[in-house]
Amino acid sequence: MANDYASVMSRKGEIMKKSVGIDFAKYESGSIAFDYEKMMSETGYTLEEIQKIQGAVHVGNTPIIELRNLTALARKYAKKGYGARIFVKDEASNPSGSFKARRAAVSVYHAKKHGYKGVISATSGNYGAAVASQAAMLGLKCIVVQECYDSKGRGQPEIIEKARKCEALGAEVVQLSVGPELFYKFLLLLEETGYFNASLYTPFSIAGIETLGAEISAQFRAKFGRDPDMVVATNAGGGNVTGTARGLIKAGAKTPVVGASVSLAGLHMASDGQFNKKSFTTGHTGFGIPFSSWPDRSDVPRSAARPLRYMERYVTVAQGSVFYLTEALASLEGLEKGPAGNTSLAAAFALAQDLPEDKMILVQETEYTGAGKHVQPQLSFAKSNGIEVRFGDPKDEVPGKNLILPANPGLIKTADVDMNHIRASLIKTAVKTMLPADKTPTEKDIAFLAEETRANEAFVKEVLKAVE
């Protein structure tokens, strides 16, 4: 078989089908709509099955910790009677140090059950370590394909840290430079090895996160007799928000889920020159905005992560504010945790100030930290890339140019992403990419798009009118 770029890409559909074992075409309507819930239920596992699968490999059942000192600090900057209690679910206590173990546990279990000899995942993040850890437990081979370097061979400290962790857990790590090579290499490896595609975006992966949402509700009900008033979840590819919200819904909780990302506005992720100008490698708007606006850009034909269906609000925080909260968490609460979880913590610190004192706000994850993830290597790396680091007002932060540590914690704020803008963008992309040229959207398409965007049919029709 020819292995040039175009030939491998043309075999994409077949490679995917074989390596995830899902016939995505079954759920398509031939127009824009597809049967998301049917895909989730037919190809996934039930919540109870997943709790068993995860329990057997020490995943899940993580503790919830109340952050009393950070709550007290937030109250100093809130108006009288305001400043909700802040809690965090300590997902760092999963085997590989993050909630990604929940996703990996189901994919690796499924791969083993169906006789695959190994698993492959394309990720520069915590997920690689999670898959490596689960593969080690179940005795499968593991390959992680990572985008690590710019063209000069320089790598973000956090990504290098994660490569080390994957190797330590026994994975073979294929380290690539930034660009389209990643997907090509990934497909080629899947084809050559016949391994399972432990994609972040299959129903297995997302159903694996539902246990997190269900645990939140069960733990709060057991301790306080009710669900939390708000859950804040760091958003990148959308699985975290989707799985957590679905788990809450399955538990019967009505808690609103707020997505949070670090603002990297103005930086281009796939650009060689800007790849190393960011101080965060996930949980940022460079993934969060495009994946919310169009989830089907992932490595499977239809993504099970569809965050716009589940986010009540989507907020951003500045990079320097997350670093500040990382230190505050360590020095006030004695908890040293990593960047992605602390992104929603920074958001929650600000959001808590808008809620009365008797409300409870839950940050639904922490992640482990380590040599490359710490604040110091990130700030040194930023400085070596010509980024100015100083104290000031986070609203003056310009990603890629400066990094502003708040002069006082009262300056830590969230900014709301314009949800209608994202909704309209999703609807327009759906028409452009899914609708055959000679067709108009069906009634089913309109209902589907309303669900996809958490909007009503009138909103969808309004946007469609503008597209015509």
Ligand X SMILES: Cc1ncc(COP(=O)(O)O)c(C=O)c1O
3-state SS class at 175: strand
**Shortest CB 459 distance to ligand X, Å:** 24
Considering beta carbons, is residue 78 or 130 the nearer one to ligand X?
130
Quick one: 426 exposed, middle or buried, by C-beta within 10 A (0-12, 13-18, 19+)?
buried
Considering beta carbons, is residue 197 or 282 the nearer one to ligand X?
282
d(CA 246, CA 54): 17
**Shortest CB 367 distance to ligand X, Å:** 4
Considering beta carbons, is residue 100 or 112 the nearer one to ligand X?
100
Sequence-ordered strand ranges (E) for 55-157: 64-66, 85-89, 118-122, 141-149
- C-beta separation of 202 from 238 below 8 A: no
**Shortest CB 365 distance to ligand X, Å:** 6
d(CA 309, CA 455): 9
**Shortest CB 17 distance to ligand X, Å:** 23
Considering beta carbons, is residue 34 or 201 the nearer one to ligand X?
201
225 φ/ψ angles, rounded to the nearest 5 degrees: 75, 10
Q: Got the DSSP string for 372-436?
A: TTSHHHHHHHHHHTT-EEEEE-GGG--TTTEEEEESSGGG---EE--HHHHHHHHHHHHHHHHS-
**Shortest CB 96 distance to ligand X, Å:** 10
Sequence-ordered strand ranges (E) for 272-347: 311-317
**Shortest CB 97 distance to ligand X, Å:** 8
**Shortest CB 202 distance to ligand X, Å:** 12
Considering beta carbons, is residue 411 or 426 the nearer one to ligand X?
426
Considering beta carbons, is residue 326 or 353 the nearer one to ligand X?
326
Q: Which strand (E) or helix (H) includes residue 302?
A: none
Considering beta carbons, is residue 100 or 246 the nearer one to ligand X?
100
Applying CB under 6 A, which residues contact ligand X? 98, 100, 125-126, 234-240, 282-283, 340-341, 365, 367
Q: Name the maximum alpha-carbon separation found in the chain.
A: 70
Counted residue by residue, the chain has a size of 468
- Specify the amino acid at residue 253: A
